[in-house]
Amino acid sequence: MKKTYVLDTNVLIVSPHALLSFDDNDVVLPVVVLEELDRLKNEQGESGVNARQAIRMLESLRRQGSLQDGVDTPAGGRVRIELNCEDAKLPFGFAPEKHDNRLLRICLNLRTKGLQAILVTNDIVLRIKAQIAGIPAEGFTTEQAPESESQYAGRREVFAPESSIQDLFSEGIDPDLLYTETLQAGSLNPVQNEFFLIRSDCNLKHTVLGRFNGKRIVPLETLNASPFGVQPKNVGQRFLQEALMANVDSAPLVIVKGMAGTAKTFYALAVGLEKTMESERAFRRLMVVRPNTQFDDDIGFLPGTEQEKIAPLMRPIIDNLEILVDKNEHERYRNEQELRSKIDELFDRGIIVCEAMNFMRGRSITNTYLVIDEAQNLTPKQAKGILTRVARGTKLILLGDPNQIDHPLLDARTNGLVYASERMKGSPLCWQVTMQPDECERSSLAADAILRL
């Protein structure tokens, strides 16, 4: 049965292509949404860009016919504009002039006409109000990842016959020999570049670590490495080190998810400094980018130079660098000025460059070790934009915790980090690792809090 989807503004300013994403169903755009798009079109940053794109798509449809009557879409549906439907009766206490309630009135009016109207909004409160009014409501799911427990983790713990474990370092392990408590041998279906903790089925304490190269499980190559003097402290960090240290041709994209304190940023910076300053000097610089949770709109209006504007965003990066440039825990903070001068030298020499997300548009980044920290605050469109900025010789690392989102229109299933993770799953150019809660190394308190809170 054909459905009628009523779109909220917040769907279009995150995913402007949503207008044409409902197959052969009808899409209704309330006039209040047009007013909101008109207000947002002059905004700086991602919200303004997406508002303008949505308006251009509407203009393209307008040229094909009357939007008030409805214009056919390529998939067989229709897009039309709906006025306020002032005669529709709202529940008691719902102010009729409010933006949200104008959307609800349209939905109610459409349903009185026998249409199966569904409100599509990323606003959770509005979805609750819709339920009160008896209106079905849902988020925009086209770019939605699975529930957290079903998302791709990039790693698994499996069992294998003792005899096959012995073969890991000579010829690799046939993935058809691996099994889990729920999957029998031959049905594991490993993903390319997926990491494995393999236990002997005869001796559970006998374990090896490997990676699926597309054909067989092969051993890790960096177990004895210590990038910039840092050594892995758990299985997750060993997987993380392998992905980060892999050469740019085989692993130009690394996606790391995990809770706070699991050393995602710290390890990424350690390997970046190693690859930029030490050993083979594979990259000309280490670039760190952190998104501003307000769509990066306000940063352009802050006083000062670009680096002064983004300094507050980069404080967590400085915290990690303090540990990396002076590994003596007892002497590190005795001379704060000397410690700061060591870090300043990295920036003055151009070894490390920090930028905000809104300065990335239109770039073509070459021969760079590029770290996107707090990537869970990216929109799917921003994540795609970053991936398409990567030129030859650049290694891109996306880091973040999908459960710590500051962006008002994103959640654990709609943010750019999990979007990129699910879409790039299985790519031979993408290596992924999800750090486990028990792999927190920040402090005993942090580790206990992660498990308890």
Q: Give the list of residues 6+ apart from residue 400 with CB closer than 8 angstroms, or none.
A: 256, 257, 264, 373, 374, 375, 376, 377, 415, 417
Asked whether the beta carbons of 389 and 363 are under 8 A apart, the reply is yes
CA distances from 147 to 43, 247, 334, 343 (A): 33, 32, 46, 40
Supply the pLDDT for residue 149: 85
Supply the pLDDT for residue 54: 94
Strand-by-strand arrangement of the 207-212 sheet: 155-160, 195-200, 207-212, 217-219
**Max CA separation in the chain (angstroms):** 76
d(CA 205, CA 400): 31
pLDDT tens column, 331-372: 667 778 888 888 999 999 999 998 877 767 667 889 999 999
Tokens standing for 219? Answer: 């051993």
Pairing verdict, β 207-212 and 217-219: antiparallel
Q: Give the list of residues 6+ apart from residue 258 with CB closer than 8 angstroms, or none.
A: 236, 264, 401, 433, 434, 435, 436, 439
Q: Hey, what CATH topology would domain 4-138 get? A: Rossmann fold (3.40.50)
Supply the pLDDT for residue 296: 45
Supply the pLDDT for residue 186: 86
Q: Which residue has the tokens 């050993």?
A: 279
pLDDT tens column, 258-272: 998 899 999 999 999
Residues of the chain with pLDDT under 50: 294-297
d(CA 281, CA 136): 56
Supply the pLDDT for residue 295: 38
CATH topology of 4-138 equal to that of 233-452?
A: yes
Percentages of the chain per state (helix, strand, coil), in multiples of 5: 35, 15, 45
Supply the pLDDT for residue 362: 67
Q: What is the CATH number of domain 233-452?
A: 3.40.50.300
The one-letter amino acid code at 167 reads D
Q: Give the list of residues 6+ apart from residue 83 with CB closer than 8 angstroms, or none.
A: 31
Strand-by-strand arrangement of the 368-372 sheet: 352-356, 285-290, 368-372, 395-400, 253-257, 430-434
Asked whether the beta carbons of 349 and 387 are under 8 A apart, the reply is no
Asked whether the beta carbons of 248 and 282 are under 8 A apart, the reply is yes
CA distances from 307 to 68, 296, 351, 372, 411 (A): 48, 15, 15, 17, 29
Quote the pTM value: 0.82
Identify the sign of the CA torsion 232, 236, 241, 244: negative
| H/E element, 452 | helix 444-452
| Domain residue extents for the chain | 4-138, 147-219, 233-452
Asked whether the beta carbons of 175 and 210 are under 8 A apart, the reply is no
